[in-house]
Structure 1
């Protein structure tokens, strides 16, 4: 049996990404911190880890993989993530009735915030 243990995000500015992703997901870093790698884990213990790997890499668009983050209150979460440094991404092919908002973190790593409110499609 396999399970997802950690999702690894490459980054340039580890400290900035550490601040963003811990606040965005309400995760905590495993201590002690390394200078080029951080493992973030859910405070409540449930869910996959997110690791930040300070290895420069070329950004490719569209990305080959991205996170779908489920939100009970999508508009509030999108606003909160923007206040942390995320930005919305315009995609002209996004359907008008889409249940997701495309965003990117401060370094341009893309993710979607999906409406998971009771009764929503997610």
Structure 2
């Protein structure tokens, strides 16, 4: 089953957001400065992004689980979103019944 792996926050200033959220949540900077990681290995990381909109990244263990979960989520009421994917995309963009976007990511890719 998928889990919330990351919360993508749309921010206007990554440094300011990183300073705030790391102190607010006790998260630490990752090797990639766009990410803050929790000390609890089960908590989602934060992805600070100045271009993308705020959304959830749901993580699947591999391609088979990703495919199964996408089908399951669609059966629950999600819908595929017309998206321009890069050739090596490891994610599928869906929308919940209210139109909120989220990604299902193949973490084994």
Give the TM-score normalised by structure 1.
Answer: 0.45
In the TM superposition, what are the counterparts of 1:83-98 in structure 2 within 5 Å?
83-91=75-83, 93-98=84-89
Higher helix fraction (1 or 2): 2
Supply the distance in 2 between the matched residues of 1:83 and 1:90 (Cα, whole angstroms): 18
**Aligned-pair CA distance for 1:47:** 3.3
Q: Which runs of 5+ in 2 are unaligned?
A: 1-22, 27-41, 45-50
C-alpha contact (below 8 Å) 1:63/1:110 kept by paired residues: no
| Higher relative contact order, chain-length normalized (CA < 8 Å, sep 6+) | 2
Q: Please identify runs of 4+ aligned residues in structure 1 that moved more than 6 A.
A: none
**Aligned-pair CA distance for 1:94:** 1.1
In the TM superposition, what are the counterparts of 1:1-122 in structure 2 within 5 Å?
1-3=23-25, 46-47=42-43, 64-72=53-61, 73-91=65-83, 93-117=84-108, 120=109
User: What is the CA RMSD across the aligned residues, in angstroms?
Assistant: 2.3
Give the TM-score normalised by structure 2.
Answer: 0.50
**Aligned-pair CA distance for 1:113:** 0.3
Q: Which runs of 5+ in 1 are unaligned?
A: 5-45, 49-61
SS of residue paired to 1:2: helix
Distance 1:63 1:104, change over 3 A: farther
